């Protein structure tokens, strides 16, 4: 009970110093007192798939074997250290080899290892059985977000969306208090149905990332130019959180994975409505907006996709991330400005956004960049300008 109090207190910490004692106490108590979160805090999650449970069992099996061997070896060592001391007047023995003993402790470990390898091989073979899926989703890593594309039966994209960190910068920079799911929350989670075999096709658009949901027991690198396979049948509805686990640059720590596993009927309903929403969003490309509307949407897009490098104030972090405030591109010809957002700048960290953002979003953010901070061009950038440029470039 006390352990529980102390851990909930540490979640609301305000200053480090005042909670250090509590933390140490809490951790110590958590060892001795059985609290509900004991296993979650000290051990691998059991997870919600058959595979994750098998992996957990395997992990515990190896752990216990190591404990037994370690107990034996360290036990003998400690006994020896306590008894075979010069201060006890012990005369040292002079023997220094024994073929029998040496053969025994070479051969016996081989059998222990075989005992570990057999169950491990079984689980691994199952993990590689990626076929026979009910549905497939392409998971694509970007610096520093994930894109999820729902694929239809012919492996064509039905619809897709980007999944960005939704924790505000103010929480990260210690301006405001941190929420419960600090750094593990996104603007739109990946949604999948329970009890269906979902196949994930994992790849990357830039550097290597890694997609991991601990509760599913699966992790795979997202490698540019390569399509990796994963699968899961989730058994319990719920929200499962993970993180990118391959160093991918500046914001590697800020691209979480959130998966919402939904009951099948709820998922089917969501799928249909999301598909319709995607269709409607496509229509935005042919609409016209006012300066105010463009500035509002542009600011939103900017803070999600651009601010981590170019900064909210448009000053960037020179020389790696140039300033947009007063820059030649953001105040020069419109098409050049749109072009660099669409196609990126090869050899730099500037990505091509043509596949990440819709034309209306690119239009709005271009407009925003041309009118925000000290920039004040007199043009209005509409989605159609973006579409025209894309058509011209083919």
Partner 1 sequence: MSAVIEEHHDDHDHGPAKGLARWLFTTNHKDIGTMYLWFSFLMFLIGGTMALIIRAELFQPGLQFVQPEFFNQMTTNHGLIMVFGAIMPAFVGLANWLIPMMVGAPDMALPRMNNLSFWILPFAFGLLISTLFMEGGGPNFGWTFYAPLSTTYAPDTVTFFIFGVHMMGASSIMGSINIIATILNMRAPGMTFMRMPLFVWTWLITAYLLIAVMPVLAGAVTMMLFDIHFGTSFFSAAGGGDPVMFQHIFWFFGHPEVYIMILPAFGIVSAIIPTFARKPLFGYDSMVYATASIAFLSFIVWAHHMFTVGMPLAGQLFFMYSTMLIAVPTGVKVFNWVATMWKGSMTFETPMLFAIAFVILFTMGGFSGLMLAITPADYQYHDTYFVVAHFHYVLVPGALFSIIAAVYYWLPKWCGRMYDETLGKTHFWLSFIGVNVTFFPQHFSGLAGMPRRIPDYALAFADFNMISSVGAFIFGFSQLFFLYVLIKTITSGRPATAQVWDGAKGLEWTIASPAPYHSFTTPPVVTLENNPH
**Six-digit token string for 39:** 């296993």
Interface with partner 1 by CB under 8 A: which range of 75-83, 152-160, 189-197, 296-304?
75-83
Q: Give the shortest CB-158-to-partner 1 separation in angstroms.
A: 25
Give me the least distance between CB of 231 and partner 1, in Å please. Answer: 13
In whole angstroms, the minimum distance from the beta carbon of 283 to partner 1 comes to 33
Tokens encoding 344 = 């990126």
What is the crossing angle of helices 291-301 and 359-371, to 10°? 100
Binding mask 100-119 for partner 1 (x = CB under 8 A): -xx--xx--xx--x--xx--
Which residues does 384 contact at the CB level (< 8 Å), separation at least 6? 285, 286, 288, 359, 363
Burial of residue 153, with CB atoms counted within 10 A of its CB: 0-12 exposed, 13-18 middle, 19 or more buried: exposed
Task: Give just the sign of the alpha carbon dihedral 215, 169, 207, 281.
Answer: positive
Identify the bridge partners of residue 162 per DSSP, sorted by sequence position.
147
Considering only residues 4, 53, 59, 274, which one is a binding residue for partner 1 as defined by CB under 8 A?
A: 59
Q: Which residues, 6+ apart, have CB-to-CB distance to 245 below 8 Å?
A: 210, 212, 219
Of 121, 273, 288, 313, the residue at the interface with partner 1 (CB under 8 A) is 121
| Minimum separation from the CB atom of position 199 to partner 1 (A) | 14
What's the rounded Cα separation, in Å, for the pair 231 and 51? 10
Q: Does 228 bind partner 1 (CB under 8 A)?
A: yes
Q: How far apart are CA 124 and CA 119, in angstroms?
A: 9
Question: Contacts with partner 1 in 12-51 (CB under 8 A)?
Answer: 13, 16, 20, 23-24, 26-27, 40-45, 51
User: Considering the rule CB under 8 A, would residue 141 count as an interface residue with partner 1?
Assistant: no
Site for partner 1 contains 130 (CB under 8 A): no
- What gap in Å lies between CA 26 and CA 9, rounded to an integer? 10
**Residue number with CB closer to partner 1 (14 or 376):** 14
Between CA 311 and CA 250 the distance in angstroms is 13
Judged by CB under 8 A, the number of residues near partner 1 is 109
Nearest Cα to Cα of residue 383 among 289, 291, 285? 285
Question: 165-194: which residues touch partner 1 (CB under 8 A)?
Answer: 171-174, 178, 180-184
- Smallest distance from the beta carbon of 269 to partner 1, in angstroms? 31
Q: Which is nearer to partner 1, 36 or 347 (CB)?
A: 347
Q: In the window 270-309, what residues touch partner 1 (CB under 8 A)?
A: none
CB of 391 to partner 1, least distance (A): 24
User: What is the SS3 assignment for 146?
Assistant: strand
Quote the least distance from Cβ 284 to partner 1, whole Å.
31
Return the range that interacts with partner 1 (CB under 8 A); candidates 188-196, 220-228, 283-291, 292-300. Answer: 220-228
Q: Give, as ranges, the residues between 248 and 267 that touch partner 1 (CB under 8 A).
A: 248-254
Give first-to-last CA distance, the chain, whole Å: 65
According to CB under 8 A, which residues from 310 to 339 bind partner 1?
A: 317, 319-320
> 334-363: which residues touch partner 1 (CB under 8 A)?
347, 349
Residue 231's beta-bridge partner residues? Answer: 199
Residue 227 makes CB contacts below 8 A (sequence gap 6+) with 201, 202, 203
Q: How far apart are CA 161 and CA 361, in angstroms?
A: 13
Whole-angstrom CA distances from 144 to 105, 114, 161, 164 are 49, 41, 14, 8
Per-residue binding string, partner 1, 82-101, x by CB under 8 A, is --xxxx--xxxxxxxxx--x
Nearer to partner 1, 127 or 387 (CB): 127
| Strand pairing class (198-204; 228-232) | antiparallel
Residue 120 vs 295, nearer CB to partner 1: 120
- Quick one: which of 8, 50, 63, 279 contacts partner 1 (CB under 8 A)? 63
Min. distance of Cβ 155 from partner 1 in angstroms? 18
Quote the least distance from Cβ 50 to partner 1, whole Å. Answer: 12
């Amino acid at each position: 009970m006390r352990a529980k109090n102390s851990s909930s207190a540490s979640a609301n910490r305000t200053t480090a110093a005042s909670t250090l004692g509590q933390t140490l106490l809490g951790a110590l108590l958590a060892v001795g007192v059985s609290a509900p979160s004991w296993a979650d805090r000290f051990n691998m999650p059991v997870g919600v798939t058959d595979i994750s449970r098998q992996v957990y069992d395997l992990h515990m099996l190896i752990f216990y074997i190591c404990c037994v061997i370690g107990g034996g070896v360290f036990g003998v060592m400690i006994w020896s250290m306590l008894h075979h001391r010069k201060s006890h007047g012990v005369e040292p023995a002079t023997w220094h080899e024994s073929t029998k003993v040496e053969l025994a402790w070479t051969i016996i470990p081989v059998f222990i290892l075989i005992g570990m390898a057999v169950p491990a091989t079984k689980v691994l073979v199952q993990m590689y059985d990626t076929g026979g899926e009910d549905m497939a989703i392409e998971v694509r890593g970007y610096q520093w977000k994930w894109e999820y594309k729902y694929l239809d039966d012919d492996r064509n994209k039905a619809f897709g969306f980007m999944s960005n960190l939704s924790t505000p910068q103010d929480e990260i920079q210690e301006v405001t208090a941190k929420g419960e799911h600090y750094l593990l929350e996104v603007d739109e989670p990946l949604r999948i149905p329970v009890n269906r075999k979902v196949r994930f096709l994992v790849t990357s658009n830039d550097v290597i990332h890694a997609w991991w949901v601990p509760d599913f027991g699966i992790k795979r690198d997202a490698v540019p130019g390569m399509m990796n396979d994963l699968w899961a049948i989730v058994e319990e509805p719920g929200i499962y959180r993970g993180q990118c686990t391959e160093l991918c640059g500046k914001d590697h720590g800020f691209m979480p994975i959130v998966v919402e596993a939904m009951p099948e009927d709820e998922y089917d309903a969501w799928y249909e409505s999301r598909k319709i929403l995607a269709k409607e969003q496509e229509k935005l490309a042919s609409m016209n907006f006012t300066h105010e509307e463009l500035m509002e949407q542009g600011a939103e897009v900017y803070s999600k996709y651009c601010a981590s490098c170019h900064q909210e104030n448009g000053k960037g972090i020179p020389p790696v991330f140039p300033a947009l405030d007063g820059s030649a591109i953001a105040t020069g010809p419109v098409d050049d400005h749109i072009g660099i957002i669409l196609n990126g700048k090869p050899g730099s960290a500037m990505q091509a956004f043509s596949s990440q953002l819709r034309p209306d979003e690119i239009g709005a953010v271009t407009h925003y960049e041309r009118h925000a901070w000290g920039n004040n061009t007199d043009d209005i950038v509409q989605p159609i300008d973006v579409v025209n440029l894309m058509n011209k470039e083919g």
